[in-house]
C-alpha cells in the first residue's frame, strides 16, 4: 500500500473561533479519494526553524521504508509530525482545509498556526488506512438507527465530518466539550441532530465531559458510539458506557487524540498500549 506524501502551501488562514484557526492549503499532489469519506486522518510535517519547507523523503510503495528514511534524516532537519483530521476537501481541486486548536505557543503545531500566513508550507503524509483504518460510520449508525458522539475541541473537525455524512432517518446526539461559549461551531447534518455544548470555563480538560456523561445515565436504545479527544477522558467515557451502562464493546469506536501534560513525542503509557491493542483487535 502506497503511503501518500506531498507538500502543502497555505492559501488562506481564517480564525473561525478565538481558539481555532482554519487553514486552507493547496496540495502539490492529491489522490482523488481524499476527502470522500468522513474522519480522514493525516499527519502534517512541520519544518524546523530556518527551513522554508520541511525536508521529506519521497513517496514510496513501502511505507515502512518511508518511515525509516524519515528517521534517518538528521534530527536538525527531520520535520516534526503531528496528527490531524481533514476538515474539508474542495471537490475537483487540490485544496483542503485543516483546523488547528490554538492552545498557546508551547507546541510545534499550535505555534505554527498562530503565525500561519499564505505561502507557508507544510508536508502531508496520508490520509492512509495504514495508520487510521476507516470506520464504516454511516453504515453502523444507519444500522443502529441512532448514534452518540462525544469529544473535545480536538475532535470537532472529525465530529463535523461524521455528522455531515449521516443519512436521513438517523437520530444523532453529539456531546462536545470546549473552552467556553465562544468556541461553538455550527454543525450541519441530514440526520436528526442534537448537540450538547459543555463549557470548561477554566476547568481542566475532559472532566466536565465525563461528569455530564455519567450524570445523563444509560443511553436510550443501543446506539453506535464514537468517542475521541483527551485520552484519559475517552478511556473513562468508554469504561462508563461498557461497564456501567452495558453498551457492547463492538458498538463503541474510540480514539485518544492527545494526552494531558504529555505530547505525541512522549512514550506511550501502559494504558495507551492497552487501548491500541484493543482497537487493533476490534478492527482485525
Q: What is the mean pLDDT of residues 35-48?
A: 93
**Residues 226, 272 within the same domain:** yes
Phi-psi region of 123 (alpha: psi -120 to 50; beta: other; left: phi over 0): beta
Distance CA 103, CA 54 (A): 23
Q: Is the pLDDT reported for residue 106 higher than 80?
A: no
Mean pLDDT score across all residues of the chain: 87
CB contact set of 144 (below 8 Å; sequence gap of 6+): 221, 222, 223, 224, 251
- Predicted confidence band of residue 270 (pLDDT cuts 50, 70, 90): low
**Residues 26, 145 within the same domain:** no
Residue where one domain finishes, among candidates 74, 90, 125: 125
Percentage of residues of the chain with pLDDT beyond 90: 61
Task: Establish if 68 belongs to a structural domain.
Answer: yes
**Residues 241, 266 within the same domain:** yes
Q: Is the pLDDT reported for residue 3 higher than 90?
A: no
**Residues 26, 157 within the same domain:** no
Q: What is the mean pLDDT of residues 184-209?
A: 92
Domain hosting 243: range is 137-283
- 159-173, 192-206, 225-239, 270-284: the lowest-pLDDT one: 270-284
**Residues 118, 149 within the same domain:** no
pLDDT value at position 69?
Answer: 93
- 183-187, 193-197, 260-264: the lowest-pLDDT one: 260-264
Task: Establish if 130 belongs to a structural domain.
Answer: no
**Residues 151, 267 within the same domain:** yes
Q: Give 7-22 pLDDT, tens digit per residue.
A: 999 999 999 999 999 9
Residue where one domain finishes, among candidates 125, 155, 176: 125
Q: What is the mean pLDDT of residues 99-114?
A: 87
Residue where one domain finishes, among candidates 125, 158, 182: 125
CATH number of the domain at 255, please.
3.40.50.80
pLDDT value at position 267?
Answer: 44
**Residues 111, 150 within the same domain:** no
**Residues 197, 270 within the same domain:** yes
pLDDT value at position 204?
Answer: 81
Q: Give 123-162 pLDDT, tens digit per residue.
A: 999 887 766 666 677 788 888 889 999 999 999 999 999 9
pLDDT value at position 283?
Answer: 47
Domain count, the chain: 2
Task: Establish if 279 belongs to a structural domain.
Answer: yes
Q: Is the pLDDT reported for residue 262 higher than 60?
A: no
- 46-50, 131-135, 204-208, 264-268: the lowest-pLDDT one: 264-268
**Residues 233, 141 within the same domain:** yes
Task: Establish if 62 belongs to a structural domain.
Answer: yes
Q: Is the pLDDT reported for residue 272 higher than 60?
A: no
Nine-digit cell string for 89? 476537501
- Predicted confidence band of residue 244 (pLDDT cuts 50, 70, 90): confident
Residue pointed to by grid coordinates 454511516: 138
pLDDT value at position 139?
Answer: 83
pLDDT value at position 279?
Answer: 53
DSSP states of the chain:
----EEEEEEEEEEEEETTEEEEEEEESS--TTTTSSSS-EEEEEEPPTT-SS---PPP-S-HHHHHHHHHHS-TTTSPEEEEEEEEEE-TTSSEEEEEEE---SSSHHHHHHHH--TT-EEEEE---TTTSPPP-HHHHHHHHSEEEEEEEGGGHHHHHHHHHHPPTT-EEEEEEEESSGGG------SSEEEEEEEE-TTSPTTHHHHHHHHHH-SPSS--EEEEEEEHHHHHHHHHIIIIIT---GGGEEEEEEEBTTB-TTSPPPHHHHHHHHHHHHHH-
**Residues 41, 63 within the same domain:** yes
CATH number of the domain at 62, please.
2.40.30.10
**Residues 149, 248 within the same domain:** yes
pLDDT value at position 185?
Answer: 97
**Residues 235, 150 within the same domain:** yes
Q: Per DSSP, what are the bridge partners of residue 229?
A: 256
Distance CA 65, CA 277 (A): 23
Amino acid at each position: 500500500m502506497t503511503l501518500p506524501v506531498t507538500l502543502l502551501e497555505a492559501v488562506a488562514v481564517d480564525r473561525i473561533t478565538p481558539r481555532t484557526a482554519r487553514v486552507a492549503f493547496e496540495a502539490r499532489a492529491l489522490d482523488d479519494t481524499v476527502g470522500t469519506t468522513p474522519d480522514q486522518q493525516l499527519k502534517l510535517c512541520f519544518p524546523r526553524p530556518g527551513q522554508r519547507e520541511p525536508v521529506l523523503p519521497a513517496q514510496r510503495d513501502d511505507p515502512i521504508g518511508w518511515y525509516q528514511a524519515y528517521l534517518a534524516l538528521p534530527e536538525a532537519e527531520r520535520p516534526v509530525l503531528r496528527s490531524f483530521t481533514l476538515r474539508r476537501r474542495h471537490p475537483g481541486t487540490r485544496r483542503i482545509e485543516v483546523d488547528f486548536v490554538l492552545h498557546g505557543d508551547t507546541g510545534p503545531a499550535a505555534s505554527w498556526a498562530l503565525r500561519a500566513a499564505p505561502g507557508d508550507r507544510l508536508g502531508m503524509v496520508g490520509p492512509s488506512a495504514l495508520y487510521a483504518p476507516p470506520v464504516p460510520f454511516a453504515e453502523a449508525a444507519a444500522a443502529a438507527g441512532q448514534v452518540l458522539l462525544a469529544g473535545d475541541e480536538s475532535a470537532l473537525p472529525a465530529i463535523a465530518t461524521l455528522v455531515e455524512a449521516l443519512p436521513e432517518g438517523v437520530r444523532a446526539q453529539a456531546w462536545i466539550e470546549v473552552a467556553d461559549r465562544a468556541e461553538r461551531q455550527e454543525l450541519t447534518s441530514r440526520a436528526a441532530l442534537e448537540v450538547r455544548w459543555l463549557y470548561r470555563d477554566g476547568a481542566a480538560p475532559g472532566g466536565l465531559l465525563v461528569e455530564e456523561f455519567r450524570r445523563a445515565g444509560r443511553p436510550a436504545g443501543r446506539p453506535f458510539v464514537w468517542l475521541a479527544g483527551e485520552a484519559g477522558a475517552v478511556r473513562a467515557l468508554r469504561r462508563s458506557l461498557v461497564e456501567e451502562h452495558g453498551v457492547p464493546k463492538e458498538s463503541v469506536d474510540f480514539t485518544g487524540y492527545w494526552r494531558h501534560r504529555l505530547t505525541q513525542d512522549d512514550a506511550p503509557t501502559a494504558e495507551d498500549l492497552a487501548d491500541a491493542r484493543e482497537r487493533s483487535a476490534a478492527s482485525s
